[in-house]
Structure 1
Amino acid sequence: MKPEDQLLIQKAYREFLEGRQVKPRGGQKQMIADIAKSFAAIAEDEEGRRKGNNHLIAIEAGTGTGKTLAYLLATLPLAQAREKRLILSTATIALQEQLLLRDLPDLKKLTSLDFNFALAKGRGRYLCTAQLSKAAASLRAAEPESEKATLSLFEQELLAQPQAKDEEVLTRLLEDFAGGRWDGDRDSLQEAVPQDLWNRLTTDHQRCTNRRCPHFAAACPFYNARRELEQADVIVANHDLVLADLALGGGAILPAPEQSYYVFDEAHHLPDKALNHFAASFRFNASLKWLQLLKKSQPDLLRALAASPSATSQLNQILVPVDELVRDLGVLYSQLLDGTPFKDSYNPSQPVFRWPQGKLPEEVRQFAGQLLIYFSTLCRLLENLVNQLKEAQDPEKGSSLDAEIAAEWQPLLALLHSRALAAHQLWSLCAEPDQEGRPPHARWLTQHRLSEGDEDLELAASPVTAAGDLAYRLWSRCFGSALTSATLTALGKFDRLKQRTGLAEATPCHSYPSPFDYQRLGILEVPKQACDPSQQQAHTDAILDYLETELQHPQAAALVLFSSRRQMNEVYDGLPTQLKRVTLTQDQLSKNRLIEKHRVRIDEKKPSIIFGLASLAEGIDLPGKYLTHVIIARLPFSTPDDPVDATLAEWIESTGGNPFMQITVPDASVRLVQACGRLIRQEDDQGKVTLLDRRILTKRYGSQLLNSLPPFKRQLS
């Protein structure tokens, strides 16, 4: 590291500590040093491109380490010195708000570091000014848009029209935006807008005409926000937005990966988020519907775009792939519906069938290959049409098409292009055989039983691990990246993280324990009531017995975590009246409202108990008096009916591995640590963690799980 960079970081750290009037923490200092040394060691060529592969680092930092300040101080000065952008990616809104409202403003105010920061969000969070104007005009028009002959089929079936009940909301939004009282950001609205109406008022990269739009220069909220991003040294984003940007090729929403340092906070969420982005699905009847609508509307399109020989040529070609798709999809739908042994899932209206190890029958795979060809052709034709309609709206292009007609049809064809691209992705995952010796794709079929006797089949495919995609799309391209969280290890090792994220085996990984004195602050108990959850009724009775014994006191401030909604509700129904009166369940209130009501009760010196599921085992902060007892009903093993997990387990078993010990136990270890982490949030918190699952004492994996937990004082009955 250059001496001047080291001095700058050390100076900023001293300034921050003095400004906050806090003492340095050992783990925090070590984290600053490790990240700074790692990022400073990255070599670059004369054009600023990274050389070598020593650009990644993973750090687990226990609660109370102060990791946010650590990674900010370690990365920001180096990013600025190398003229790179720093992208901070989180998994939760709460952490984004902490960065934007406290950590970054304090760093700028208390230190001599000079930087700008901004929040990055996708287009879907911003108003499209053109869409707002169009929606408002359609309500004022004597003839509704849906009655226009040329657009009726598309508008009625594909694009939701604003209803009369929306007129008041639309009018208010238009007035507030025009009057400068609203900046077009959905998150800054004082009153919520219904999702169906908001979908009408926003856009995506396919439908947006960018610089050809008359509102682009000054009145586009999304591009106004983008201009702020261009001036920012630090960009706060979330994992979904980073992955969406990579899916678009990188550099479409955020700065190019090659010119960016990334810090992934809450990085243990990244693999699951990535899996969602790299998966695809396809509904047969819904797709047949829009394909048939496209065919019926082709004559109207020909008349509307007759002035362009090129557009006419594309439209004349479009019927061939559409006809082939309608025919083959209909045949395949019937075959799958009649020949698939569906199995009832946890949702009775959605029976599921999963192909073992994701291997499709050869006949289905051949169908997929043919459908892929047709969708490739359709995507190409629709893309050409959309590009021509966009150009027609640019006065500098001199198109033969009328700009108003182009503007009228372009959003609709762009929507169809998006649907065709999504279909292409699914059939690509189904047509390509899995590589020998590599984890397969999961492939499964869901039967949707709709209202009035209708039904549909949904074919889905997903990689079983995001490792390959992350390695290819992100790690191979970014200039540098740090992954951090309080829970990156599983059973004390980083092996599971590397497997799931595609980090190279040689990637340096460090773990800094929490500075909290867990032996003094907390107790971990497995009480006499704990039993094996395989005896379901006995386990439910044991939970009730423990709660009635331990929580019938006026200072109760407890969080009870369940792995099953059914058991949570059974226990709640079985509570004595006095306990039920002070118990809040996750089924009764939203997460935020639940926490708010719990805090109010504790402030009023009343007992309060929260019943929650997995989502409350992480990301909630109830320090001090607000939470003194965490009760975990059972070990948080994942459910075996998830198609992706089941396919991965099959593959591991087929290669001679043990999926339970290689996947299930390590993942449960992470979730158990997160659940225990709800208790001690500050260095003076105190309380108890209770585990009502005796398997942690009787099974051979139990000692591994116990050893991975914070070092509380233990009381094991």
Structure 2
Amino acid sequence: MKSKVKPLPAEQKEEIATSEPLPAYASEEGIDPELLETARVRLELLYGEVAADWPGFIARPGQYQMMQAALLTFLSAKAPEDADRSGRQLAQLEAGTGTGKTVAYCLAAIVASEILKKPVVVSTATVALQEQLFQKDLPRLAKIIPDLRFDILKGRARYVCQSRLEGVINDVAQDMLPGDMFQDAFIDTRRQQEVIPRDRGQAMRWFKSTEKKLNNGSWDGDVDSLAQTPDPQDWRQVQANAHACNGGRCEFFKSCAFFKARRQAAGATLQVANHALILATLQNESTLIDAGNTLFVFDEAHHLPSIAAEQFSYRARIGTSSKLLTSLRTVALRHGKTLPASTRPDPVAFAQLITGCTDKLSVLERFWIDAGLVSAEKDVHRFTQGEIPQDLIPECEELANLLGSVNRTVERIAEALMEQDESLSVSERDEQTRAGVELGVYVSRLGTLEKLMRSWATHDKIPWAKWLEWVEDAGGTNIDAWLCASPMTAAQVLSKNLWKTVSAAVCTSATLTACGSFDFFDRMSGMNRFPERRSLVVDSPFDYATQGELRIAPMKHSPKNSEFSGELCLKLPGLLLAHEHGQLVLFTSRKQMQACHAALPAALEKQVLMQGVLSRVELLKEHSRRVKQGERSIIFGLQSFGEGIDLPGELCEHVVIDKLPFTPPNSPVEEALSEWLGTQGRDPFLELSVPRTGMKLAQWAGRGVRTVTDRAVITICDTRLISMRYGQALLDGMPPFPVVRPRA
């Protein structure tokens, strides 16, 4: 019989559980006492099982405290019809590296799920983190808890559409969709990794080999399980799309990769998703997730506000959208002719709708061209306080209404085309169905364009950011402008679409606080609108007083001084030579990184691995190899290396940060938010820049100590940390290393 190992001494549990008065995160108000006792007994049992069987498990007070707070949050779950949304069902729990937060929130969620009969969704910031949880942590738990059923949820676009794949191979109905023009009208391909155009023959070979793997069962239809990432242009032609799906009427429905994955996940107690998918699901009112009856965990939740702001923003190219609508008129009317008279659209009325839309888009096009708002020299124009010219407001309102009418007409045509007409031959029915499926793709994009126009026509008390961006295609053959709109923060949309709809939710991360406070996350996420939300920072298992120190390098010049860069180039070699094993140098700019690299002595330069020369995976692998062979190895990296990499022990005994990672408002959305705060008599620097920098600095400094046996030095080459008033706030938010100040 398996022995039960108690994870914590009784006195530690008592100290955690019986503090008086109870802090807000430990409130039991509204929870049935018998239900709570049953849950706690079950949780203790599972925690004991994990303590006995989890490889290398060490019980930590912080983990236990977090687990209990998460359990109370879940047991405070609300029913969809419950109007009381004061916040006890919401929690923000910060737990640093080494706390074991995954085990803590998973066990609490599993127990609450058993008792409340509600499913659990664990959401991560990226697909990569999602895969890690699904493939590593949950299988370990499942070995200990045999009844645990878990699965993964991905967006539809991660799966192949077998019908579209066959259509591409057979070259069926491909004249319907204006390919790249359709894509370029709504997605800024400049932000995507550039790809080398492929010839048709090479693409066709990929399509055929992929179909063969799908049919013989060697590929499950998930793009992430392919040995090699497909060419983005090829994948766009065959990926699944909600508005181009015939559902149960599709001949491939039973074998459909997307629906097979959904059916499999539906029976799981715990589903692993990502933030973008959750937000898109709630935004589109999808039935994928019943938020009002689901328990949520948002891991790496500090990314949630920025992902939400991106999710609820809209953008479209003016000129390309006009061409797209003109193409739509031809496509819709051509396929509408095949329908019965009762469902056939009036060709004159539909053509007038399309003309009305293109005329209004021409008004917007003439506006930006005549006003000269954007050009090759000035690629962005943001409207102050989100206010567009008054005479454009009715134009945008009318365009939004026209687009809504067009969209409804196209929806009716698409639905009618996908109805099974037994009077047609099999091939005719297949062709008509495929036409309806492809026509459905337009519906999604028309909806985006309609929402964009409505946001441009609306000016709320808290305005949206609205701006234009210059577009010039390769060779200057096509000049256009993006129309863009975005909420300045995600607070309002998260409050309305997430926090007020979920049954219960726990937000967690190693860095939810900024400058020692939840205030920044509260404001950006909208959680400050729920006064009884639970907030807790659990104690780290690391003894920072003995495991490391924070040194302020004795720099004569501030980063604001032009002499700073040269001084850093001179000082850095000495800082690096003082340590023998693995080191990580984080730079706030590529230019500074390259300057410091060029100034290194030849012997030291050979010991440096610089980001961009090798892939991330190859660089970390080579770094590990060198350190294990007893060599000094130094990584030069930019901001992306400050989060998400794990270099325990000698792999990182020294972290160097070139300067405080302040980033000025460098996007129209950030500029608009700073501008609006200024009009409210508030200080954007203290409310935005300092907390963002504090959160980032804490993440960067956290690269040094990853286990209880690590020891590391953190060197910051920016004396503003101790010379400026905001410096103490930044220090308050960092791991509590002893601070070594430069001598006078």
When normalised by structure 1's length, the TM-score is 0.91
Alpha-carbon separation, structure 1, partners of 2:697 and 2:68: 30
Query: Which residues of structure 2 form unaligned runs of 5+?
Result: 1-32, 184-196
- The yes-or-no answer on 1:306 pairing with 2:332 is no
The code of the aligned residue for 2:723 comes to T
Cα gap change, 1:44/1:237 in structure 2, threshold over 3 Å: closer, same or farther? closer
User: 1:500-649 counterparts in 2 under 5 A?
Assistant: 500-503=524-527, 504-529=530-555, 531-536=557-562, 538-552=563-577, 555-649=580-674
Whichever residue aligns with residue 526 of structure 1, its letter is I
> C-alpha separation between the residues in 2 aligned to 1:492 and 1:283?
42
Measure the CA separation in 1 of the matches of 2:492 and 2:732: 31
Equivalent of residue 114 in structure 1, options 147, 151, 154: 147
Question: Which residue identity lines up with residue 415 of structure 1 in the other structure?
Answer: V
Change (3 A) 1:622 1:314: farther
Q: Does 1:135 align with 2:162?
A: no
Change (3 A) 1:530 1:62: farther
Relative to structure 1, is the Cα distance of residues 529 and 156 closer, same or farther in structure 2, using a 3 angstrom cutoff? closer
Please say if residues 314 and 384 of structure 1, whose CA atoms lie closer than 8 Å, have aligned partners that are also in contact: no
Q: Map residues 126-275 of structure 1 onto 2, 5 A cutoff.
A: 126-138=159-171, 151=175, 154=178, 158=182, 163-217=200-254, 219-251=255-287, 253=288, 255-275=289-309
Instruction: Report the 3-state secondary structure (helix = DSSP H, G, I; strand = E; otherwise coil) of the residue aligned with 2:508.
Output: strand
SS in 2 for 1:391: coil
Aligned-pair identity (%): 31
CA displacement at 1:359 relative to structure 2: 1.5
| Deviation at residue 702 of structure 1 after TM alignment | 0.7
Show the 5 A alignment for 1:74-473.
74-111=108-145, 114-138=147-171, 151=175, 154=178, 158=182, 163-217=200-254, 219-251=255-287, 253=288, 255-297=289-331, 300-302=334-336, 305-313=337-345, 315-342=347-374, 351-392=379-420, 402-435=428-461, 439-453=462-476, 454-473=478-497
User: Do the aligned partners of residues 341 and 577 (structure 1) sit closer, same or farther apart at CA in structure 2, a change above 3 Å counting?
Assistant: farther
Distance (Å, rounded) in 2 between the aligned partners of 1:161 and 1:708: 49
CA RMSD of aligned residues (A): 2.5
* Partner Cα separation in structure 2 for residue 684 and residue 695 of structure 1: 31
Alpha-carbon separation, structure 2, partners of 1:413 and 1:145:
10
Aligned to 1:25: 60
What are the superposed Cα offsets for residues 232-275 of structure 1, whole Å, 9 maximum, x if unpaired? 00000111111111121143x3x210110000010000000000
Give the whole-Å Cα distance in 2 for the aligned partners of 1:703 and 1:175: 62
Letter in 2 for 1:502: G
- The counterpart of 1:37, out of the listed 66, 69, 72, is 72
After superposition, give the CA deviation of every residue in 1:85-132 in whole Å (9 maximum; x if it has no partner). Answer: 100001134532332223222222124x62200011111111111122
SS in 2 for 1:459: strand
Q: 1:59, 1:509 within 8 Å by CA — same for their partners in 2?
A: yes
CA contact (8 A) 1:135 1:162 kept: no
Tell me if the contact between 2:176 and 2:331 (Cα under 8 Å) persists in the aligned partners: no
Q: Distance in 2 between matches of 1:214 and 1:484?
A: 43
Alignment of 1:57-72 (within 5 A): 57-72=91-106
Whichever residue aligns with residue 36 of structure 1, its letter is L
Tell me if the contact between 2:123 and 2:272 (Cα under 8 Å) persists in the aligned partners.
yes
Structure 1 residues 180 and 298 mapped into 2: Cα distance closer, same or farther (>3 Å)? closer
Distance 1:27 1:361 in 2: 55
| CA 1:314–1:552: 2 relative to 1, 3 Å | farther
| Between 308-317 and 4-13, the greater mean CA deviation after superposition | 308-317
The whole-number CA distance in structure 2 between the counterparts of 1:680 and 1:612 is 18
Kindly report which structure 2 residues correspond to 1:632-711, keeping only aligned pairs within 5 A, or say none: 632-711=657-736
Shift of 1:460: 0.7
How far has the Cα of 1:23 moved from its partner?
Answer: 3.3
- Higher mean alpha-carbon deviation, 554-563 vs 471-480, is at 554-563
Does the residue aligned with 2:665 lie in a helix, a strand or coil?
coil
What amino acid maps onto 1:597 in structure 2? Answer: E
Number of equivalences: 690
How big is the shift at 1:369?
A: 1.3
Closer, same or farther in 2 for the Cα pair 1:592/1:309, shift >3 Å? farther
What is the CA-CA distance between 1:72 and the residue it aligns to?
Answer: 0.9
Task: Please list the CA deviations of residues 272-313 of structure 1 after superposition, one character each: whole Å capped at 9, or x if unmatched.
Answer: 0000000001111211221222234455335xx334224432
Instruction: Give yes or no for contact 1:314–1:381 (8 Å, CA) kept in 2.
Output: no
Q: Equivalent residue of 1:309, what SS?
A: coil
Summarize deviations over 1:150-175 as a string: whole Å, max 9, x none.
x3674686589992112322222122
Deviations 1:605-624 (A, max 9, x none): 33222222221111111111
Give, in angstroms, the shift of residue 341 of structure 1: 4.1
Distance 1:341 1:630, change over 3 A: same
Cα distance, 1:52–1:291 mapped onto 2, change above 3 Å: closer
Letter in 2 for 1:325: C
Give the distance between the partners of 1:399 and 1:257, measured in 2 at CA.
43
Between 334-343 and 228-237, the greater mean CA deviation after superposition: 334-343
**What is the deviation of 1:672?**
0.6
Distance 1:598 1:310, change over 3 A: farther
Q: Distance in 2 between matches of 1:355 and 1:401?
A: 53
Q: Find the counterpart in structure 2 of residue 141 from structure 1.
A: none
Q: Distance in 2 between matches of 1:77 and 1:510?
A: 20
Q: Taking structure 2 as the reference length, what is the TM-score of the superposition?
A: 0.88
Q: Rate the CA distance shift 1:43–1:224 in 2: closer, same or farther, 3 A.
A: closer
Partner of 2:17: none
For structure 1, the 5+ residue unaligned runs are 139-143
SS at match of 1:211: helix
Q: After alignment, is 335-344 or 641-650 more displaced? A: 335-344
* 1:9 to partner: Cα distance: 0.5
CA distance in 2, matches of 1:657, 1:701: 16
CA distance in 1, matches of 2:611, 2:346: 53
- Residue 521 of structure 2 corresponds to residue 497 of structure 1: yes
Structure 1 residue 314: Cα displacement = 5.1
Tell me: CA distance 1:137–1:313, structure 2 relative to 1, closer, same or farther (3 Å). Answer: closer
Amino acid at match of 1:520: T
